[in-house]
Amino acid sequence: MKYAFPDNFWWGSASSALQTEGAREGETTWDYWFAREPNRFHNGVGPQQTSTFYQHWKTDIQLLKQLNHNSFRTSISWARLIPDGIGEVNPEAVDFYHQVIDELNEQGITPFITLFHFDMPMAMQAIGGWENREVVDAYARYAQICFELFGDRVLHWFTFNEPIVPVEGGYLYDFHYPNVVDFRRAATVAYHTVLAHAKAVQAYRAGHYAGEIGIVLNLTPSYPRSQNPADVKAAHIADLMFNRSFLDPVLRGEYPADLVALLKAYDQLPACKPEDSALIAEGKIDLLGVNYYQPRRVKCRDSAVNPQAPFMPEWFFDNYDMPGRKMNPYRGWEIYAPGIYDILVNLRDNYGNPRCFISENGMGVENEQRFIENGQINDKYRIEFISEHLTWLHKGISEGCNCLGYHMWTFIDNWSWCNAYKNRYGFIQLDVETQQRTIKKSGEWFAATALNNRFEQE
Ligand code: BGP
């Protein structure tokens, strides 16, 4: 079978500032947390040990070119640009991002720029992070500064990357700083993130910049164990909490009524101001980035909730370990390629078929050195993973889904938060000690696919 993609399909990859650039003047929550609790990070490796993009951006862009990328997403570090989050702009950071953006454009690689990829300036966290509306305003100012500085040469902006992740990690499940477990605070953080997003969109519209603005969401389709109404309800609530809490505001301009009713019933709603809903309605986007790694399988709870336990999403469902599901054992994530198709069909049928693209998809694998053949990692499993997902993506497009591209996570193996360098995702192998870069087999496969705008599979 041949799978051909539409003209001008975006082929590329994604990365983020904190995970690639290396040290900077402005401290982030990650630097602060790592300095205090290095044991929380795999092998005690922190955010200083990156793939040194700050030094090697020029040669790295050459490598992107070698991979036949026509587009590439990375983020601007708020803390690099404005070290204390709200004050002076650092001119060295401005020069750096100018150079990177110019070089990408010169090489024919369209820059896609994210404004916030989990890297809160510590000075902003110190005043409450997303729980504080002053931080929302500081973010809106930062976004506007970015549009003014780079808006003539960056035509695809994303306000946030996976905004639900800092909510889950920082305020529910204890895998991001500030390690709080408190649903109402989590809901406040999520709500203020939506307000921050909407303010950035508002500023972008007001500035009449040449490009488009969107957001990147990690969508995890929720599959019920069975069609029993209790299982279906469990899946519906998981979908409301983890997907629709961001998807509905950014595409429909409002929250799902049943999500609001549920949180109200349990007294978990954040404090809202009367003017918020008009602002949220202004946050509707031009382009949606979809990160897809894994589905979510759920069933109804078998046991009663402990009324003394903290209120959690899991009050309404249990995770369901479907027998025989295909797993990526290194990350503990299920591999389910049809999920990508289900997401696109849902967007087409229930959200007016928005302009969208796959902004991340990928597979992190441990100890890839064992697959070295003639000096190169032969990551067949990754090629299989990508082609399987592309097949389902192709089916979606052929059925009218408005999917404009496919970006992989990631370009060069990079530092993955608490997992540090445990699992490698790159098209290019990184030797962390020597900083040597070597293209993997999947990189060659992707380069050929991007060049031909098609691939073949039996
Ligand atoms: C996404 C993030 C990325 C990246 C990726 C891989 O959620 O946007 O920053 O890290 O997941 O996940 P992990 O690094 O946790 O293995």
* 274-299 confidence digits (pLDDT tens): 999 999 999 999 999 999 999 999 99
Centroid of ligand 1 to alpha carbon of 190 (angstroms):
19
Percent of the chain surpassing pLDDT 70 = 100
Centroid of ligand 1 to alpha carbon of 137 (angstroms):
27
pLDDT of the residue at 93: 98
Is residue 418 in contact with ligand 1, taking CB distance under 6 Å?
no
pLDDT of the residue at 24: 93
Reported as a pLDDT band with limits 50, 70 and 90, residue 66 is very high
Q: What number of CA atoms fall less than 13 Å from residue 173's CA on the CB side? A: 9
102: region left, alpha or beta (phi > 0 left; psi from -120 to 50 alpha): alpha
Pocket probe for ligand 1: among 290, 360, 412, the residue whose CB has the most ligand atoms within 8 Å is 360
3-class DSSP state of 208:
coil
Burial grade of 457 (CB within 10 A; 0-12, 13-18, 19 or more): exposed
Pairing of strands 212-218, 287-291: parallel
Tally of CB atoms within 10 A around 364: 21
> Mean pLDDT throughout 14-28?
96
CA–CA separation, 348 and 299 (whole Å): 26
**Average model confidence (pLDDT) for the chain?**
98
Is residue 159 in contact with ligand 1, taking CB distance under 6 Å?
no
Catalytic entry in 162, 168, 334, 368: 162
360 is catalytic: yes
Reported as a pLDDT band with limits 50, 70 and 90, residue 135 is very high
Is residue 243 in contact with ligand 1, taking CB distance under 6 Å?
no
Residue 432 scores a pLDDT above 80: yes
3-class DSSP state of 269:
coil
Residue having the nearest C-alpha atom to atom 4 of ligand 1: 416
Listed in sequence order, the residues at least 6 apart from 253 whose beta carbon sits closer than 8 Å to its beta carbon are 280, 281, 282, 283, 284
Residue 55 scores a pLDDT above 80: yes
Centroid of ligand 1 to alpha carbon of 261 (angstroms):
31
Instruction: Please report, for residues 6, 102, 226, 354, 418, the alpha-carbon distance to residue 168 in angstroms, rounded to integers and kept in the order given.
Output: 36, 35, 26, 26, 14
β-bridge partners, 28: 121
CA–CA separation, 432 and 193 (whole Å): 34
Residue having the nearest C-alpha atom to atom 6 of ligand 1: 416
pLDDT of the residue at 403: 99
Is residue 364 in contact with ligand 1, taking CB distance under 6 Å?
yes
> Mean pLDDT throughout 382-403?
98
> Mean pLDDT throughout 148-173?
98
Torsion of CA 88, 96, 289, 274, to 10 degrees: 10
106 is catalytic: no
> For 76-96, what is each residue's pLDDT tens digit?
999 999 999 999 999 999 999
Reported as a pLDDT band with limits 50, 70 and 90, residue 246 is very high
Ligand 1 atom with the shortest distance to the CA of 362: 6
pLDDT of the residue at 458: 76
Question: What sign does the dihedral 195-199-201-202 (CA atoms) show?
Answer: positive
Centroid of ligand 1 to alpha carbon of 360 (angstroms):
9
Which amino acid type is present at position 272?
A: C
> Mean pLDDT throughout 254-266?
98
* φ/ψ (deg, to 5) at 85: 90, -25
Centroid of ligand 1 to alpha carbon of 151 (angstroms):
27
